[in-house]
Structure 1
Amino acid sequence: METGRGPGLRAITRAIARDEVRARISRTAEELFLTRGYDETTVDQISAGVGMSQRSFFRYFASKEDIVLDNYDRLGHDLLARLSARPETESDWVALRRAFDVVTEQLADPEVRGHGTAVQRLVDSTPGLLAPYLQRLDGIQQRMTGRLAERAAARGRAADPVVLRATVGAAFACLQAAISHACGNEPGALADLLDSAMDSVRGAEVVTAEVVT
């Protein structure tokens, strides 16, 4: 018997089944995108590859663009969750680094890293994907900047939003540099590369970003 305090077993089961179907569609679509090209792949081809009708496809994704960008939506959710879980007393720079563990953990698997690199190259080379990807990336950084402002407020301080935004941007630049090196040049431990990059620019974390209120 459901108590109303949370989703019932049936709802949870449906959600799990839906996630599994979405994952199967994503895998099929990405394989087609990488072998045939994004623009050359149609929703009909994706639907056929999964074994469903086009009508059924649209129950799970609004467009083929959403299949690729869904990865970044989920990443943004995970990054914000990790950042929110960090201790309020921890410095913003360290909290951001620990939030990036979401990425280093995923890309520690060579197969996942290779697939992720291929998908990112697809996004970078496809105008129809690049613009919305950049919008999502900016949205992720804005939400993480807002979370840092909330952390400052919890400590009884007001934070300079410009400095916080710059701090988040600098941290993401370190992450991108580490990923590019790990995936495009000499294979290495992404976590170590990220640590090195963020340690080298740690001065970007300006103590005066916070002003006592």
Structure 2
Amino acid sequence: MSSMGDAQPGLWTRSRQRVYAEITAVAMELFLTNGFEQTTIDEIVVAAGISRRSFFRYFGTKEDVVLGHFIADGAVIRDQLEQRPDGEGPWTALRGAIFALDEGADDERLLAVSRMMYQTPSLRARSIEKHLHWYDDLVPEVQRRLGGQADSALQARAIVGCIITCLDIAGEAWSVDDGVEPLRNYFDAALDAIRRPLETPAGPSAAPDA
């Protein structure tokens, strides 16, 4: 039987998560309606019925309201990656793990948030910074799938870096095209561009690789 002392941390955590979600929902509606840069923290706290001090208990910056989940997404993708069949290579396994993260997403809202992010320099820069945390989550499992040798660490980091870059580029193209095709189509096209064997230019002007 749980004691009262055991129950309190769980209740506190749930309360904090609820408040975090409520502030996020209020702020995102303001961002999508009025624009990210046009919306101030003062407007957010008034709409959410909290103080500025309370806002900064949950978010370090205004950008974190939009992108706070990015770091946690790395751990979710890692868990999905570890569940992929051992017979899958790292590229296929990573692709499957990332698509699992997107299941059930509201594409219309995701598109609106993506447009906002790619059109706002501070959000774009912050998203790249947060994606860097994914290396710690994903590289160990990718390295294991490469055989686990010490010299595979660099290769594993390169693969994860390519995946992150392809996801970023695909998201931007998807946003610019107003989501005319599924996001995964853009992601696959970006991956194919990297994984396709490099073609050697023909003719006497073609210089050999250094």
Q: Into which bin does the TM-score normalised by the smaller protein fall?
A: 0.7 to 0.9
Is 1:144 the counterpart of 2:129 in the alignment? no
> Over residues 92-134 of structure 1, what are the superposed CA-to-partner deviations in whole Å (9 max), with x where a residue is unaligned?
1221012112343143xxxx22222222222222232222211
Counting only pairs closer than 5 Å after superposition, residues 1-213 of structure 1 correspond to structure 2 as 1-2=1-2, 8-107=6-105, 112-141=106-135, 143-152=137-146, 155=147, 157-176=149-168, 179=171, 184-185=176-177, 187-191=180-184, 194=187, 198=191, 202=195
- Deviation (angstroms), 1:172: 3.6
- Work out the CA distance in 2 between the residues paired with 1:189 and 1:118: 14
8 Å Cα contact 2:76-2:101 kept in structure 1: no
- Work out the CA distance in 1 between the residues paired with 2:129 and 2:135: 10
- Work out the CA distance in 2 between the residues paired with 1:126 and 1:181: 15
8 Å Cα contact 1:142-1:165 kept in structure 2: no
TM-score normalized with structure 2 length: 0.73
- Deviation (angstroms), 1:139: 2.8
Unaligned runs of 5+ in 2: 198-210
Computing the radius of gyration over CA atoms, which structure comes out larger, 1 or 2?
2
Unaligned runs of 5+ in 1: 205-213
TM-score normalized with structure 1 length: 0.72
**Relative to 1, partners in 2 of residues 1:196 and 1:44: Cα closer, same or farther, differing over 3 Å?**
closer
Q: Which amino acid aligns with 2:96?
A: R
8 Å Cα contact 2:118-2:172 kept in structure 1: no
Report percent identity of matched pairs.
32
> Over residues 45-94 of structure 1, what are the superposed CA-to-partner deviations in whole Å (9 max), with x where a residue is unaligned?
11111122222222222232221220312322211222233344432122
**Relative to 1, partners in 2 of residues 1:148 and 1:123: Cα closer, same or farther, differing over 3 Å?**
same
